[in-house]
């Protein structure tokens, strides 16, 4: 396995901060942002990794953000992003969801956050709250795709977005309440392949006809894939070709409506996945009949993707005593949770598989690669396990960007009452 961070940094970090531990490489994030800058606007889907230092880095790199909850609005504001719309500029924060809860609606109103509508009911609720604003419409084009059925966000079995046949209905509803739909957004799924991503261009052109001259912005959404397997690393998405496909669609739309349109892209995984490593320690090696298990001190409470989606992550071993790792064996890598599904080497459907890894011993570090997206942000306190610490590697230095949760912090909102 390749490392974008010197291997000795992992050893030093484990000793200083303990494990499990998240480490992100700032340089990798900067490289991915640079690649996506061919688009007019890069809007980061912060749900992928919402650490405040990561958000602050995105802001310094000229990336704006998407928020899918009240908490993500608060995070964006804390990182220095501002609400409102400044003429000639993309809004720094856009709220995208299929519903409003009370907190989100209040924050949208208080900070003048533009909204990317995912349900017609949201237009009525904005009006009832006394909010009048230009809107973006997230359109479900009638098809979807993704690396797992659980991340397919298009088609008639998806809850996401406004069904493509209801666009005109939403336009009339917005106009009724003194609002205009000035933007269109489409996102068909996470980790989609190039063929399916390209199909969205035609659907966007179809949807644009319903908005006409009021259209100011189109968003290609996210879903940009990365290669998690080492042998596929050379097959990166051709970002220039992807942009050119969307640029052609944009020009068709501009010709139709008679004025220029801004073109956004909304990556999450693509910007942060390859920057991240989950560092764990092997705490037991055991035989179960013919199977060898490496049991580590990280579980699906830290990285849930393998258990939830059957996702693949590269795995490497770093010896705790600098010995050479010359031999290998087929092993199952699993975590400490009281759950049979707490296995890092499994496929979609929960099928446990082995991985050929160096022969290890208790105390060695086991590193899960490409874990920067939907890793820490999907962590939980299940089994009363604490959130792991997070660190950023930047210019040869490693800095802590989130401390490990203490037991006191984990329990601070619980109350013991008298029965």
Tens digits of residue pLDDT in 90-117: 999 999 999 999 999 999 999 999 999 9
| Percent of the chain whose predicted confidence (pLDDT) is above 70 | 94
50 and 377 in contact (C-beta within 8 Å)?
Answer: yes
180 and 127 in contact (C-beta within 8 Å)?
Answer: no
CATH code reported for the domain at 25-273: 3.20.20.10
Residues 6+ positions from 257 with CB-CB distance below 8 Å: 208, 211, 212, 213, 215
Cα distance between residue 400 and residue 403, in whole Å? 7
The tokens describing 29, both together, are 């994030």
Residue 179: Cβ-neighbour burial (10 angstroms; 0-12, 13-18, 19+): buried
Give residue 189's pLDDT band: very low, low, confident or very high (50, 70, 90).
low
Cα distance between residue 56 and residue 25, in whole Å? 14
Give residue 302's pLDDT band: very low, low, confident or very high (50, 70, 90).
very high
105 and 95 in contact (C-beta within 8 Å)?
Answer: no
Encode pLDDT of 18-58 as tens digits: 999 999 999 999 999 999 999 999 999 999 999 999 999 99
Secondary structure (3-state) at 117: strand
Cα distance between residue 45 and residue 233, in whole Å? 23
Q: For CATH 3.20.20.10, list the domain ranges present in the chain.
A: 25-273
Distance of CA 73 to the CA centre of its chain: 15
239 and 36 in contact (C-beta within 8 Å)?
Answer: yes
Encode pLDDT of 207-266 as tens digits: 888 887 889 999 998 888 899 999 988 888 899 998 999 999 999 999 999 999 999 999
Phi-psi map region of 382: left, alpha, beta (phi>0 left; psi -120 to 50 alpha): beta
Q: For CATH 2.40.37.10, list the domain ranges present in the chain.
A: 274-411
Against a cut of 0.75, is the pTM above it?
Answer: yes
Encode pLDDT of 150-188 as tens digits: 434 456 667 778 888 888 899 999 999 999 899 999 876
Angle between helix 239-257 and 194-208 (nearest 10): 10
| Percent of the chain whose predicted confidence (pLDDT) is above 90 | 78
pLDDT of 134 higher than 90: no
In the numeric block, the tokens 């991985």 are attached to 355
Secondary structure (3-state) at 412: coil
Tell me the C-alpha to C-alpha distance, in Å, between residue 13 and each of 18, 22, 216, 400, 418: 7, 10, 47, 10, 44
In the numeric block, the tokens 């000035």 are attached to 182
Domain 274-411 has CATH 3.40.50.300: no
List residues with catalytic annotation. 338
């Amino acid at each position: 396995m390749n490392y974008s961070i010197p291997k000795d940094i992992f050893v030093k970090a484990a000793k200083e901060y303990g494990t499990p531990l998240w480490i992100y490489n700032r340089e990798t994030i900067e490289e991915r942002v640079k690649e996506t800058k061919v688009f007019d606007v890069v809007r980061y889907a912060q749900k992928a990794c919402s650490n405040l230092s990561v958000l602050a880095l995105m802001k310094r790199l000229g990336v704006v953000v998407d928020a899918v909850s009240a908490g993500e609005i608060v995070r964006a504001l804390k990182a220095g992003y501002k609400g409102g719309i400044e003429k000639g500029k993309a809004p720094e924060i856009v709220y995208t969801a299929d519903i409003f809860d009370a907190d989100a609606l209040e924050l949208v109103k208080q900070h003048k956050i533009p909204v990317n509508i995912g349900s017609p009911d949201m237009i009525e609720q904005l009006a009832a709250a006394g909010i009048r604003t230009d809107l973006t419409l997230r359109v479900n084009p009638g098809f979807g795709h993704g690396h797992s059925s659980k991340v397919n966000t298009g088609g008639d079995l998806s809850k996401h977005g406004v069904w493509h046949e209801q666009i005109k209905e939403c336009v009339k509803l917005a106009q009724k309440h003194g609002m205009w739909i000035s933007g269109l957004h489409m996102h068909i799924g996470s980790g989609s392949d190039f063929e399916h991503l390209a199909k969205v261009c035609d659907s966007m052109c179809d949807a644009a006809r319903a908005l006409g001259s009021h259209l100011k912005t189109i968003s290609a959404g996210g879903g940009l894939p990365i290669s998690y397997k080492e042998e596929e690393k050379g097959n990166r998405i051709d970002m220039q070709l992807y942009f050119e496909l969307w640029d052609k669609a944009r020009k068709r739309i501009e010709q139709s409506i008679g004025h220029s349109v801004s073109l956004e892209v909304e990556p999450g995984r693509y910007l942060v996945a390859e920057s991240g490593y989950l560092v764990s320690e092997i705490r037991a090696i055991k035989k179960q009949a013919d199977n060898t298990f490496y049991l580590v001190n990280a579980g699906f409470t830290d990285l849930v993707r393998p258990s939830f989606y059957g996702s693949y992550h590269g795995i490497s071993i770093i010896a705790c005593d600098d010995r050479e790792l010359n031999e290998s064996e087929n092993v199952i890598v699993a975590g400490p949770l009281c759950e049979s599904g707490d296995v890092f080497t499994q496929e979609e459907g929960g099928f446990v598989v082995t991985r050929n890894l160096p022969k290890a011993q208790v105390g060695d570090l086991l590193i899960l690669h490409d874990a920067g997206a939907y890793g820490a942000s999907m962590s939980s306190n299940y089994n009363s396990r604490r959130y792991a610490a997070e660190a950023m590697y930047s210019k040869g230095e490693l800095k802590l960007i989130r401390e490990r949760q203490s037991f006191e912090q984990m329990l601070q909102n619980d109350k013991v009452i008298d029965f």
